[in-house]
Structure 1
């Protein structure tokens, strides 16, 4: 016999009560873990990127119901975030103000129970983590349309922080303004956004002034009170700053994705599916680049990225940002890095960290 709507709602309410009770049990266990760590004088962070990645991978692997794998993982991501907040408050610095893609990446990776600190620049994110005002920072490292983010590479080169994780965000740009009945005379956005929408802007606003600002969210906040101005920003910023949408998804290339790095002070143990990021300076001699790549080939290590970038403050000198599969504690990775160190002028191991799950 088919159940009535009221009967189904009663069953849902009953299940909700059980789920809530089980989440409460998990929170108590998380609190107990915190007590054990405090009693043992364990001063390390309670946030364990490799442990969380392993848990989320298992959740996806065993998921066999109507909810999509990623949706189920996102639910548990928030449960884990709330439980971690009981163990230890975590502060994360991001490129602000509210409504940036970097904030979206931060909340996707850490969950909404984390405490956030908005910063005005990528440099400031590094400095806040370095000074201990934030436990971690989230910074953009590369975009599928524009390549590596130079400002982040410069800071990775000059600062002594470690890469602890990664997260990817799908980027969709919205054109917005306070009153779309007005003529647009100037469009504000981060330079990356202007580059990613260059063709669309040339076709639709060829004679409009384009101005680069520190972030898209800042652009959205600026145009809220400036007549005849528009901003390129995210869907979140559109609602956050109560603006009107002029055009939707104006990025030139569909599937535009930005990858972000989580920076901190901890070395992350292996999770079973990891990446290692390096900054390498080569010698000025014939075959130097081949010497740089050969150790990875000999050890059967897949190169995920090799990006050339100017060395900060040194004219016509370059370094390479390299991402490889594997963790620095694995024997074959250790062997490759040992040979690489002998062949290169400088090798900076930025960190080994779990491959993004969500």
Structure 2
């Protein structure tokens, strides 16, 4: 037997062991799924998944790439979770958008993914029980806040159960040469994130905003002299050539997504909490709220105001803070805010994505 044949035989034996262990894991996972279902608990637990992936990474010697290890076990958990009933996840479509990619990265490819036409549609699907989870963009590190997601929370009873921050690589794609491009299609967000590059390299091209990056890629695939700005998933789906990779003006370009559901997430020790509140109309009201937070040692990572839609010139405030709503200092701060605010709602406590 040659050296390569011996090594291949060794690989075959290892693979057979892996398959036996996967079968054993699936049997235990099924028992856990039955236990959860009998008690009305959700099949997916973002906090538990994050803890498990971190724990697995800590056990690795590094011979197998850590990111690959996380991807492999995300898919293993996805397959086990969906053995009996597929988890339904709706996202901002169409297929191959960045939100679709974020949903697959979070839940694994074994879920039942449903493309929605708008962010309100995502909320509607989950609120009506037609989907277990929704994935919606909340902000981009370059382009800013996605207000449609914030605004929908003013009427929705849904809860943020996880967050995911994903790097956004924007590519120029077409089936023609760059010199022949006369129009570029994309969503408004990518245009805002690639403004300088477009001005420098395609100053004469017409920029046409469309409903999604994938819609832009569809148009680029159909029209002579048309290009699109989108992700690699869209280029593969529409069979477009990537003419220039990574054209975003800021290389460290991330989008944060919220995973929404009707179920809350348990504390992991490394969490975020998002709240919505309306302040009382008196001098220093907002200052008092921020003072309460500071006195309780709360680190605010974001504060945003939006028109309340209840009365003219009245605003709702959205705040992200570090900690879980069950942490003592967060509990104390929220109790003080309850007295200081006209109305307050906890949108959810969830595992913090370290890239956010």
TM range (shorter): over 0.9
Encode CA deviations 1:293-338: one digit per residue, 9 max, x unaligned: 1222122122121223333475433222211111112222111101
Encode CA deviations 1:177-215: one digit per residue, 9 max, x unaligned: 233377222211111011001111111222322111111
Task: Confirm or deny: 8 A CA contact 2:174 2:242 kept in the other structure.
Answer: yes
Is structure 2 residue 7 aligned with structure 1 residue 8?
yes
Q: Counterparts of 1:282 and 1:204 in 2: how far apart (Å)?
A: 47
Structure 2: which 5+ runs fail to align?
none
Is structure 2 residue 284 aligned with structure 1 residue 291?
no
Task: Confirm or deny: 8 A CA contact 1:56 1:357 kept in the other structure.
Answer: no
Task: Confirm or deny: 8 A CA contact 1:275 1:327 kept in the other structure.
Answer: yes
Name 1:104's counterpart in structure 2. 101
Task: Confirm or deny: 8 A CA contact 1:49 1:164 kept in the other structure.
Answer: yes
Task: Confirm or deny: 8 A CA contact 1:180 1:245 kept in the other structure.
Answer: no
Q: Counterparts of 2:99 and 2:353 in 1: how far apart (Å)?
A: 15
Residue correspondences, number: 354
Report which stretch shifted further, 148-157 or 45-54.
45-54
Is structure 2 residue 220 aligned with structure 1 residue 223?
yes
Is structure 2 residue 68 aligned with structure 1 residue 71?
yes
Report which stretch shifted further, 313-322 or 85-94.
313-322
RMSD: 1.8
Name 2:186's counterpart in structure 1. 189
Report which stretch shifted further, 100-109 or 123-132.
123-132
Name 2:89's counterpart in structure 1. 92
Name 1:199's counterpart in structure 2. 196
Task: Confirm or deny: 8 A CA contact 1:46 1:88 kept in the other structure.
Answer: no
Equivalent in 194, 201, 211 of residue 214 of structure 1:
211
TM-score normalised by structure 2 residue count: 0.94
1:270-309, aligned counterparts within 5 Å?
A: 270-309=267-306
Name 2:77's counterpart in structure 1. 80
Report which stretch shifted further, 100-109 or 66-75.
66-75
- Closer/same/farther in 2, CA of residues 145 and 250 from structure 1, 3 Å limit: same
Q: Counterparts of 1:279 and 1:36 in 2: how far apart (Å)?
A: 34
Task: Confirm or deny: 8 A CA contact 2:33 2:81 kept in the other structure.
Answer: no
Name 2:153's counterpart in structure 1. 156
